[in-house]
Amino acid sequence: MKNLVFKNFIINALGILCSRVLGLARDILIALFLGAGLYSDIFFVALKMPAFFRRIFAEGAFGQSFLPNFVKARKKGAFCINVMMQFSLIVLLFCLLVSFFSSFFTKIFAFGFNQETINIASPLVAINFWYLFFIFLVTFFGAILNYKQKFFITSFSAALFNLSIVIAAFFVDKNEPLKTLYYFSYATVLSGVAQLILHLIILKNNPVIKAMILSIRLKKAKTKMKSFYGNFFHGVLGSSATQISSLLDTTIASFLISGSISYLYYANRVFQLPLALFAIALTQVSFPKILKHLKSNQENLALKFMQRAMIFLSILLLVSSIVGSVYSLEICQLLFQRGNFTHSDSIATAYVLIAYLIGLLPFGLQKLLSLWLYAKFKQKTAAFIAFKALFISLLCSIAFIYFIQDENLKVIGVAFSSSLSAFYLLGANIKEFGFKKFFGLISFKFCFLIIIALIIFTAILYLTKPYILNMFIWIYMGFKGII
């Protein structure tokens, strides 16, 4: 069983890696065509709106509430058809609302934009928001695949979004940024359609889908939903707190110097790579496993599993944080510095990236520990923790912006505030998990050895950095000479 979990983690991580590699290609092209200024800020705001609600209603609250209730449901087909129909209607109406009042919603998400910028951004917001409808259905069908221990398709399908932007880039010109924005926006919506089609093809013969169809035919789709909606409501509060924090970062950045939203976006994209590749991939495959142990009253097995997962995840995230911080500028230069993205933009993004990486370990570990709360149906507690973290992040952001005099450094304070809130999230989740239980999972001798090893690794990485960079330059120049 341990080998199966590791296999699922590798499969899920490979799917996420494919998506993230294409995501980096997408961001390289966005940096090339839009740079870090007005047009890139507009696109990221337009993209953030469906992403914000997707992470609340789809990947966040929905995912955390659906699977535990799905496992408990006696009539799984009836339960699924009720959830799909009711939520699809709600999301559809919401998309129509945003389409008709796009200027109002754009102003909420980018309060610092002037009216002229709002007028440019609002039609793009209306287009991009339809991505939410399709991605909700993708998340719903993806949850069914996860229940069957099939993780690759859902993790890989996000690559279709990135691929759509890459393909759209072949039809645009960097001297026509407004036209580029529309091409990228329509590509976003079409990618949602492509992801939905892929899931429908894979699920064609799935027994849960057959049970859903049978429930419709027999007109027996009625089932109790009270428990699900109770968990979902609290899940919405928890997920919305995390996403509101991200939204507030964008809103606050809209008041700062031009390009601040873009610096946060580009740095966060790099930060999200190890977080998704290791923390999210591991938690996705761990959740069904923890649920199964707790449902069978095998808490000791669940704790042993958590111990192995914590050690594995901590090492991966610490190494990622160290490498990312030491090579932050080089990473930003390699990925983004071309076209309209300048060297000064790389420097600003690199500092923001370091501020985010400080919180990588606590962000990842709290995701793993929060699974315990969701498995125990403590969504309300998780929501309360998340809102306190939101309040801490907001207060820190305001304080940094007020006390930091240099306009170029204020955006770093916004990113660092997010990392500070991550430490609170981790501490609060440990408290709910149980300090005694948590420290019982830790071998302090092993931790000491790991810390020593990481200090040596950091020193070697820092001292060999000039030689490694010279080697890459030599390889690049040689390759360029051959061409």
Residue 437 predicted with pLDDT over 80: yes
More confident site: 348 or 226: 348
**Which of the residue ranges 66-75, 274-283, 382-391 would you say has the lowest mean pLDDT?**
66-75
Residues 244, 251: Cα–Cα separation, whole Å: 10
Pick from 29-38, 148-157, 180-189: least confident = 148-157
Instruction: Name residue, tokens 């993708």.
Output: 138
Q: How many Å apart are CA 462 and CA 325, to the nearest integer?
A: 10
The H-assigned helical ranges of 113-151 are 115-128, 131-147
CA-closest candidate to residue 254, choices 39, 41, 407, 417: 41
113-117, 376-380, 453-457: the lowest-pLDDT one: 376-380
Q: Give the C-alpha distances (Å, rounded to integers) separating 440 from 282, 300, 303, 435.
A: 21, 12, 10, 8
pLDDT, position 427: 93
Structure-token pair, residue 342: 């300048």
Query: Residue 416: which pLDDT band, with cuts at 50, 70 and 90?
Result: very high
* pLDDT (average), residues 385-408: 86
Q: What is the pLDDT of residues 66-106, one digit of tens each?
A: 766 776 777 777 778 888 888 889 889 988 998 999 888 88
pLDDT band per the 50, 70, 90 thresholds, residue 220: low
| pLDDT for 223 beyond 60 | no
pLDDT at 249: 78
Q: What is the largest CA-CA distance in the chain?
A: 70
CA distances from residue 475 to 453, 467, 470 in whole angstroms, order as listed: 30, 12, 9
pLDDT confidence of 230, banded at 50, 70, 90? low
Residue type, 380: K
In this predicted model, which residue has the larger pLDDT, 422 or 14?
A: 422
* Portion of the chain with pLDDT greater than 90, in percent: 16
Query: For helices 207-217 and 131-147, what crossing angle results, to 10°?
Result: 110
**Among 116, 157, 110, residue whose Cα is nearest residue 138:** 157
Q: Are 140 and 83 in contact (CB under 8 A)?
A: yes
Query: In the numeric block, which tokens belong to residue 270?
Result: 């790099």
Q: What percent of the chain has pLDDT over 70?
A: 83
For residue 63, what pLDDT is reported? 62
14-18, 174-178, 313-317: which is most confident: 313-317
Closest CA to 112 of 249, 240, 268, 264: 249
Contact 4, 150 (CB under 8 A): no
User: Cα dihedral angle (356, 362, 367, 371), rounded to 10 degrees?
Assistant: -170
Query: Reduced to 3 states, what is the DSSP secondary structure of residue 207?
Result: helix
- pLDDT band at residue 3 using 50, 70 and 90 as cut-offs: low
In the predicted model, what is the mean pLDDT of residues 143-172? 79
Enter the tokens of residue 36.
């870090």
Looking at residues 312-329, what average pLDDT do you find? 92
| Sole residue written with tokens 């699977």 | 67
Residue 468 to residue 326: CA distance in whole angstroms:
12
Q: Which residue has the tokens 């099939």?
A: 150
Q: How many other C-beta atoms are found inside a 10 Å radius of the C-beta of residue 241?
A: 24
In sequence order, the 6+-apart residues with CB closer than 8 A to the CB of 3 are: none
Residues 235, 379 contacting (CB under 8 angstroms):
yes
Question: What is the band of 430 on the pLDDT scale with cuts at 50, 70, 90?
Answer: very high
Residue 67 has, within 13 A of its CA and on its CB side, a CA count of 31
Q: What is the mean pLDDT of the chain?
A: 80
Q: Collect contacts of 112-120 with beta carbons under 8 A, ≥24 apart.
A: 112/251, 112/253, 112/254, 112/255, 112/256, 113/45, 113/254, 117/38, 117/42, 120/42, 120/178
Closest CA to 260 of 166, 325, 268: 268
